[in-house]
Amino acid sequence: MLTIRHFTKSYKGGKKAVNDLNLVVERGDIYGFIGHNGAGKTTTIRAVVGVLDFEEGEIEIDGISMKKDPLACKSRIAYIPDNPDLYEHLTGIQYLNFIGDLFSVSKADRERLIRQYSDAFQMTVHLGDMISSYSHGMKQKLAIISALIHKPKLLVLDEPFVGLDPKAAHMLKTIMAELCNEGSAIFFSTHVLDTAEKLCNKIAIIKGGQLIAHGKTEEVKGKNSLEDVFMELIDND
C-alpha cells in the first residue's frame, strides 16, 4: 500500500532530516513509526501524504508515484497531523462536508459515515458549533472523523493519541483495527510505546533520519518490551 524507496530529505544548509529511508506498508498493516523528537518521523509522514516536496527517492501509494500523480495518491490517503489546525471559521459539519466535497464522497456515503463516526466519538451534538469553540481533543476527534469519511486505503497519523480522552483513544484503536481488517493500511507515529507494542503488527524505529530497526513487532522487540529495545537502540549509537 505504501512503498518508500531511498527517501532522502535535506533541509536548508544541507542537513539531512531523513537519509535513504526504505519502508513497505502492506494492506492490513498497522505500522508504528517511532523515534525521539527530531528523528525525522514528521518529515517522512509529511512527504508520504504529499504535503512536503522531496527530490531524492520515491514514494508510492497503492503502486502510484507521489511525484508523478500526487492527486491520485492523495485521493487514497487520509492524513491527521499532530496538531489538528482546522478551519476555525467553519462549523464541524461544514468542515466535514467540505472534506466530503474535496474527496468526492457521495451524499449517501458521507451522511452515513459522518453519522457513524460522529456518534462513535460523541461529537454529533457539537457538529453545529464553530470549530473555534472546540477544545483540542474535540478538534482531534473532528480531524479523525474527516479522515475516515472518505474510506482511505492508507490512513497516516502523526501522534494520533495526543489530546484524546481515554474513551476516544480506545475508539480510535478499535476503528484502526476495523479498517485494517477491511484491507486498508495504517501508518502512524507515536511516542506511546506501550500502545505501539499492543496495536501494531509492524514497527519501524528511526534515529537521526535513518531507520535503525524495522519489521514485524515480535521480531523487532524479541523477548523484551518495545520500550527496552527502543531505549537500547537509541542509546547504543
Partner 1 sequence: MINIWRLTKIQLLSAFGLNKALHTQEVKERRKLLLLSIAILIGVLMIAVFSFGYSYAMALAFEQIGRVELLLAIMMAVTSMVGFFTTVYKASGVLFSYKDYDLVMSLPVKTSHVVASRILQLYVLNLFFTLMVMLPAGAVYALQAHPEAYYYLLFLPAMLCIPFVPIIAATVIGALISWFSSRFRASRMISLVLTFAAVIAFMAGSFTLNGNGQEELADLGTGLADTIYKLYPLTAMYVDAVCNYRIDSFILFILLSVLSFVIFAAVLGSRYKAIHTGLMTSHAGGKYTMKPLKASTVFHALYQKELRRYFSSSNYILNTSIGMVLLLMSSVSLLFISPEQLGEVAKIPELQHYLNTLAPVFVSMFIALSCTTSSSISLEGNNLWILKSSPVPKHIILLAKVAVNLTITVPITMISCVLLIISLRTGWMDSLLLLVIPVIFACFSALIGVMVNLKLPKLEWTSEVQVVKQSAAVLVAMLIGIISLLVPAGLSILLTGVDGKIILLGAAVIMIVVSLGLYRSMKGNGERLFRGL
CA separation for the pair 19, 158 (Å, rounded): 20
State the burial class of residue 170 (Cβ atoms within 10 Å of its Cβ: 0-12, 13-18, 19+).
exposed
Q: To the nearest whole angstrom, how small is the minimum distance from the Cβ of residue 119 to partner 1?
A: 9
Of 16-24, 33-41, 71-79, 179-187: span binding partner 1 (CB under 8 A):
71-79
CA separation for the pair 223, 201 (Å, rounded): 15
Q: To the nearest whole angstrom, how small is the minimum distance from the Cβ of residue 7 to partner 1?
A: 16
What values do phi and psi take at 15, rounded to 5? -70, 130
Out of 5, 26, 68, 102, the residue judged to bind partner 1 by CB under 8 A = 102
Of 44-52, 173-181, 192-200, 206-214: span binding partner 1 (CB under 8 A):
44-52
The nearer residue to partner 1, 53 or 178, going by C-beta atoms, is: 53
CA separation for the pair 213, 174 (Å, rounded): 26
Q: To the nearest whole angstrom, how small is the minimum distance from the Cβ of residue 14 to partner 1?
A: 10
Residues constituting the chain: 237
Out of 64, 72, 162, 212, the residue judged to bind partner 1 by CB under 8 A = 72
Out of 26, 101, 219, 232, the residue judged to bind partner 1 by CB under 8 A = 101
Does 137 interact with partner 1 (rule: CB under 8 A)?
no
Q: To the nearest whole angstrom, how small is the minimum distance from the Cβ of residue 8 to partner 1?
A: 17
Q: To the nearest whole angstrom, how small is the minimum distance from the Cβ of residue 168 to partner 1?
A: 17
CA distances (Å), origin 103, targets 6, 16, 109, 132, 151? 29, 33, 12, 24, 10
Strands 2-10 and 16-25, bridge-based pairing: antiparallel
Which residues, listed in sequence order, are joined to residue 188 by a DSSP beta bridge? 32, 157
CA-wise closest residue to 194 among 237, 147, 226 = 226
Chain residues binding partner 1 by CB under 8 A are 12-13, 49-51, 53, 70-75, 77, 79, 81, 83, 85-90, 92-94, 97-107, 110-111, 114-115, 118, 124-130, 132-134
